[in-house]
Amino acid sequence: MLARDIIRRVREIQVRTGRQVADVLAGEYVSVFKGRGMEFDEVRPYIPGDDIRTIDWNVTARVGAPYVKRFVEERQLTLNIMADVSRSQNFGSGDRSKREATAELCALLAFSAIRNDDKVGLTLFHGGIEQFIPPRKGQKHALRVVREVLAHGLDTPAEEQRKKAEGRRRLFSFFRSRGRRLDSLRDHTDIGQALEFILSVNVRKSVCFVVSDFFDADYERALRAANRKHDVIAVLVTDPRELEIPPTGLIAVEDSESGRTQLVDTSSSAFRDAVRTTATTRVDELGRRMRRLGIDFIHVDASKSVVDPLVKFFRMRGRRMRG
């Protein structure tokens, strides 16, 4: 993707998501994530009725009169966005790939954070850590986060179309064994390593969105460890054609790991039913696994609005906090 195309896409996302942040997400974001801790504000003279446990004995001894510590809700939040940029994210059966849906989701989160004077950071990962942008404030920084997610690994429009076509050929890769180690890091996803990285670079507690298609295994221990320190939210991004295959006859598909190709008959109802069952079971099991780990789970369809799942999540979480 050329630089001018990236700038145009970022501006489109900014315009589209800016209104959504202002109209829909801003209040939901504040109600869910603000006030999660207390920080010291000042000391003031003791007033009858104050909790004696808040007395600052050092100040009291110096001035000869009782003073208490005053605490306020911690206002500043650190939002860490972890975006999967492995090759499976290039797949898109419609106008928007999973990568593009991920970029728009990241934009909504980044602009919501910046609007509320919070810091936002970005980690791009696949089989390794591709890029890390430390958390900072500001509109320009938020735009950089969106640009990096959208532009990473894309060179020219022709190359982008080639990768989308490659993604379509690799549609069935997730039905096969994932036990082999690939030579190319970008060909697979290592969520565990990405979480271990974020634990090593973020000392303070943060809200951490992990945005991926979760074509990986053996990352539960890392998720559990990360969630003990941070507030981890898992966001699954899928394409409709990963969940249901249309009856288009014989097509050639390529295994993204082994490179083997084979013909499949999509006109067979038994085959389509098997695809649907396997895919929906994977999504349902992923949701159950996250709930067992105490991690919130969001499912985003790349062909639809990314706002609705976010709003649903915020409202669900808000009800849970009030209850």
What are the extents of the domains in the chain? 3-30+74-322, 39-72
Contact 40, 71 (CB under 8 A): yes
pLDDT mean across residues, the chain: 80
Is a pLDDT exceeding 80 seen at residue 19? no
Structural fold of domain 3-30+74-322? Rossmann fold (3.40.50)
Among 159-173, 218-232, 290-304, which is the least confidently predicted range? 159-173
Q: How far is CA 283 from CA 79, 208, 239, 245, 300, in A?
A: 25, 21, 12, 16, 11
Is a pLDDT exceeding 90 seen at residue 305? no
Structure tokens at 265: 């008959």
Is a pLDDT exceeding 70 seen at residue 132? yes
- As a whole number, mean pLDDT of residues 38-65 equals 85
Residue 140 has what pLDDT? Answer: 87
φ/ψ (deg, to 5) at 24: -120, -55
pLDDT band at 90 (very low <50, low <70, confident <90, very high): confident
pLDDT band at 323 (very low <50, low <70, confident <90, very high): low
Return the residue matching tokens 């990236």.
6
Of 35, 40, 43, the C-alpha closest to 73 is 35
Among 127-131, 223-227, 248-252, which is the least confidently predicted range? 248-252
Contact 235, 213 (CB under 8 A): no
Residue 264 has what pLDDT? Answer: 86
Q: Which residues contact 81 (CB under 8 A, 6 or more apart)?
A: 106, 109, 110, 120, 121, 122, 123, 145, 149, 209, 211
Instruction: Please give the Cα distance from 9 to 24 (Å, whole number).
Output: 22
Is a pLDDT exceeding 80 seen at residue 178? no
pLDDT band at 38 (very low <50, low <70, confident <90, very high): low
Is a pLDDT exceeding 60 seen at residue 108? yes
Instruction: Please give the Cα distance from 149 to 83 (Å, whole number).
Output: 7
Residue 248 has what pLDDT? Answer: 85
Contact 302, 239 (CB under 8 A): yes
Q: pLDDT of 256-288, one tens digit each?
A: 544 568 888 889 999 899 989 999 999 999 999
Structure tokens at 187: 């060909």
Instruction: Please give the Cα distance from 316 to 163 (Å, whole number).
Output: 36
Residue 139 has what pLDDT? Answer: 84
Pairing outcome for strands 78-84 and 119-125 = parallel
Helices (H) and strands (E) in the chain, counts: 11, 10
Contact 88, 189 (CB under 8 A): yes
Among 144-148, 154-158, 195-199, which is the least confidently predicted range? 154-158
pLDDT band at 193 (very low <50, low <70, confident <90, very high): very high
pLDDT band at 205 (very low <50, low <70, confident <90, very high): confident
Residue 319 has what pLDDT? Answer: 80
Among 86-95, 206-215, 297-306, which is the least confidently predicted range? 86-95
pTM of the predicted model over 0.85: no
Is a pLDDT exceeding 70 seen at residue 184? no
Contact 259, 234 (CB under 8 A): no
Residue 164 has what pLDDT? Answer: 47
- As a whole number, mean pLDDT of residues 294-315 equals 91
Is a pLDDT exceeding 50 seen at residue 177? no
